[in-house]
Chain A
């Protein structure tokens, strides 16, 4: 028995004497519990695998294209186009075929993943940070400040983001940074509203009162006591926001307002495939970017759902085994 003398004297807590074969149900942190639940969920694990795969592809894009031997923007007029000047179908040289300029679709797809993740993750991180900060301040302080921030968030959410982006791009010219900022600016209220609601509930909890009783300042309560309780929520919704932003970027690029050629993005690849009905003779130009987009958004969405269940098992899916678990 490892129990100290004091424990035995006090007779509390550590297993006393003969209670040595009790199964240990303790020693697990909230994060470890969540991870254990997530790991049991096969769909989420598959989604997580794909997300990691796509991230690796994005990060190692230069290495991969170097291995393939075809740069994303290099045109191969001789081997990359048929004698009629049409794109070459998938073959040993071009695994996923080429586009109308004789560029390797696979290499472009790989670089497209990079752009998608940059915008998807970048805008989401920005929106989440802004949203958590605003929701925290708004929910914690309440009153006029809350009314102001909450109404501002409502107003932002009422804006048609696509139209607004269109106008901004027309004014400032398309760029990755602009897209990122525009998306983040219109999306932080989504997170902000959720966080605000959560903070309003947390603010009334006894542990916050206990912190106040111990003399904590407002700032300390907000960051030390409340913020850790928001992380799960923020992670889940950020994960669900990433695919939205990836699609948004693809949409903007498809409309010609996002990533400008020759830089590859899944959105402008789809647009190019549709340009002059090219896909009718070169299906691979349309199908592969679509599949990449579809799988990536699906994986993020599934992962987000899985995370939600794992981090907060009370909500969402009900207890798999039914019955009371008390």
Chain B
């Protein structure tokens, strides 16, 4: 019998806008010791469903059945649920900082959890807490047990959460986006740990995530959710090798790593539906390339499809492997034309002639500050030894005055006209600071930022304003970067007003042109940002950046806040705009596959420095810096090899050290599998490698040789970590793990 058997789960909430049908009949089951992944975009109801099962969504109307160890969880009262939560079913949340109590020592918190459900003595519980911390790979567990949550890094906190979840040997752990807030290298560590513990204790795990790549490496079975319903349920292999539902296929196609550089992404068009009403038809039909009349009659039930047993799909398409359109000759409906237009659906699908007129006209540019005369391929933006230090605020308890955060510490690079320079790195590596230095939003501490050979710091205020027309920025947070109290038309038209380019009817018409250019309906110019979805808001941000026809656009994580299908739409839009308007991009992201997809050249940053820079293929195919290599191997890839084998990974230990006090010599040496004496003493400079004709530069004493895998380098204990405050014993290990 299944450990947890959920049947026809329905959850609804009353909100200001009406009843939200968050989950509309979800069924799944988890066997003992199995892992199941629930995949869905934001708003698909994946978190709500599991919270409702555990009685963690007050105010919701919940119906259905959730059989767990012979009890229906939905029938239990609060006190019975309490005895199950934590003890029999444990949860791990996305943000460990908010789920750990900030004022109690972590050891105590784990001990409390143990004592709440058993009659262990205080001493026993404390001892057990230390054992658990050791188990999840926290170094010096007895000492760290007396630390507070803020003294741990993100990855370490998530380990503490896992320790707490394991405390009572639950038979089921629900992990809700456990690695979403973490960097890729740390994410890889945490997933590895979870997999490890699962095989050790046989705990069943439900992994809730938006990232298909995470499930691919980790789970046995996948449930794909959309608009509160199950779209497809199958083994992980079947999901990736023979997906049946168009939504699953669409999701897979939207992922940049699935497509080579030159390929266009094939995003799912449109936006997820509102869940204000229970679906009366297939919820995916408005976005489905294969929708036809039958899809509109009722939501299709889950039915067995394909060759593998247990493969269920809520789609009417025949499962004999015929392609969507062949299988549905009668598909008239609007959807039938969709597939042919998908490839161009999400960019500027306008004819070139129209695009030319919509492109804002260059306004009499000031001599010396225009890149108009710059030919394709010439340098437009050049950084020389750029340094940015932020003083550490000396609070009452700081006691470390004079220290500074070395966010950017000596970076030189150039951007050529018409190209896209990708900038990758983990959080805290200084990439966002660098973006602001490039655009002149922050002054440099030292070094030079030159735009068409003019040093930004030497410009007069008037020239600085003119520069703004040439150097624009697209921001990360589509919610934070638009003023919530201003109408979209006035936000997009802001640059025209600021630079007194035009006003009145002309401004209005140019704003509407811009909206059309980025794929927004011009009729909506009178709306407020809150009335748009995340993807649409990012389009607004892009329209604003393009208003004055800039030369260089710096995109700071423009898609990281978006769902994968929307992300693909925006990436395609950016690409189209680049070719139409001859834009130059600096594209900053932590997502390596996104960067690979858009960039011509890539610079990899680590702790305020560039460690490797070169053409995108050279970097991704033949990384020479150990950091680049391990970063690449840490990306979860949404692919399952036919044989079910998993990729070999280089697991870096620990997290990124503090930029206040970076390691001596090569900053990467404490985490580097190839580090030797010299690395901690002498800082390697960026240099061309002999015998490398690819035009790359690497800052490493011992670059990875062709054919060499890092996994073969010497390695120590897989779990040893020098994370967080305890930097006393730099672990010189990277664990090659094949699981």
Which A residues lie at the B interface, using CB under 8 A? 3-4, 6-7, 9-19, 21-23, 25-30, 33, 36-37, 205-207, 209-217, 220, 224-225, 228-229, 231, 313, 319, 321-326
| Residue B182 at the chain A interface, CB threshold 8 Å | no
CA distance A216 to B493 in the complex (A): 12
Most buried by B among A11, A211, A319: A11
Is there an interface contact between A216 and B494, defined as CB atoms closer than 8 Å? yes
Task: Identify which of B17, B18, B59, B536 contacts A12 (C-beta below 8 A).
Answer: B536
> Which residues of chain A are within 8 angstroms of B349 by Cβ–Cβ distance?
6, 9-10
User: Is B482 part of the contact surface with A, judged by Cβ < 8 Å?
Assistant: yes
Given A6-B350, A12-B346, decide whether A228 and B59 contact each other with a Cβ distance below 8 A.
Answer: no
A253 to chain B, nearest CB (A): 39
User: Do the beta carbons of B269 and A326 come within 8 Å of each other?
Assistant: no
Nearest CB on B from A33, distance (A): 8
Set of chain B residues within 8 Å of A15, measured between Cβ atoms:
286
Q: How many A-B residue pairs have CB under 8 A?
A: 172
Contact assessment for B13 and A321 in the assembled complex, using a CB-CB cutoff below 8 Å: yes
Contacts of B17 in A (CB 8 A): 25
Is A11 within 8 A of B59, CB to CB? no
In the complex, how many angstroms separate the beta carbon of B414 from the nearest chain A beta carbon? 21
The answer to whether the Cβ of B345 comes within 8 Å of any Cβ in the partner chain is: yes
Instruction: Kindly supply a per-residue 1/0 record for chain B positions 466-485, scoring 1 wherever the CB is within 8 Å of any chain A CB and 0 otherwise.
Output: 00110011011100111111
State A18–B337 Cα separation when bound (angstroms): 13
Contact B285 A11 (CB under 8 A): no
Which among B286, B350, B547 is the interface contact of A19 at CB below 8 angstroms?
A: B286
Given A4-B521, A206-B477; A9-B350 close (CB under 8 Å): yes
A-B contact pairs, 10 of them (CB 8 A): A4-B521, A4-B522, A6-B516, A12-B536, A26-B527, A30-B528, A210-B544, A211-B483, A228-B483, A321-B15
Structural contact, B287 and A16, CB atoms closer than 8 A: yes
- The reply to whether A209 and B475 form a contact with Cβ atoms under 8 Å apart is yes
Shortest Cβ distance from residue A3 to the other chain B in the assembled complex, whole angstroms: 7
Q: How far is the CB of A17 from chain B (nearest CB, A)?
A: 3
Q: Which residue of B lies closest to A214 (CB)?
A: B495
Contacts of B660 in A (CB 8 A): none
Known: A9-B344, A13-B519, A15-B286. A323 touches B274 (CB 8 A): no
**Additional 9 contacts, C-beta under 8 A, given A19-B270, A206-B475, A210-B473:** A4-B521, A11-B270, A11-B338, A13-B270, A30-B485, A212-B441, A214-B548, A215-B498, A321-B13
A321's nearest neighbour on chain B, judged by CB, is B14
Residue from B59, B441, B535, B541 whose CB has the most chain A CB atoms within 10 Å: B59
**For the complex of A and B, 10 pairs with smallest distance between CB atoms:** A17-B334, A322-B59, A323-B59, A215-B468, A11-B269, A19-B286, A228-B485, A11-B345, A206-B481, A206-B480
Contact A213 B480 (CB under 8 A): no
Q: Shortest beta-carbon distance, A326 to chain B, in Å?
A: 7
Asked whether B498 lies within 8 Å of A16 as measured between CB atoms, the reply is no
The answer, yes or no, to whether B633 is at the interface (CB within 8 Å) is: no
Docked Cα-Cα span, A209 to B472, in Å, equals 11
Known: A210-B475, A210-B544, A323-B58. A13 touches B345 (CB 8 A): no
Closest A residue by C-beta to B479: A206
Asked if A213 and B441 make an inter-chain contact with CB atoms under 8 angstroms apart, the answer reads yes
| Interchain CA distance A326-B530 in the complex, whole Å | 13
Q: Which residues of A contact B335 (CB under 8 A)?
A: 17-18
Q: B271 at the A/B interface (Cβ < 8 Å)?
A: yes
Give Cα A205 to B149, complex, Å: 27
Give complex CA distance A25, B532 in Å. 10
With a cutoff of 8 Å between Cβ atoms, the chain B residues found around residue A321 in the complex are 13-15, 59
Q: Answer yes or no: B531 CB below 8 A from chain A CBs.
A: yes
Shortest C-beta distance, A315 to chain B (Å), equals: 15
Please report the C-alpha to C-alpha distance between residue A30 and residue B465 in the assembled complex, in whole angstroms. 32
Most buried by B among A4, A228, A313, A324: A324
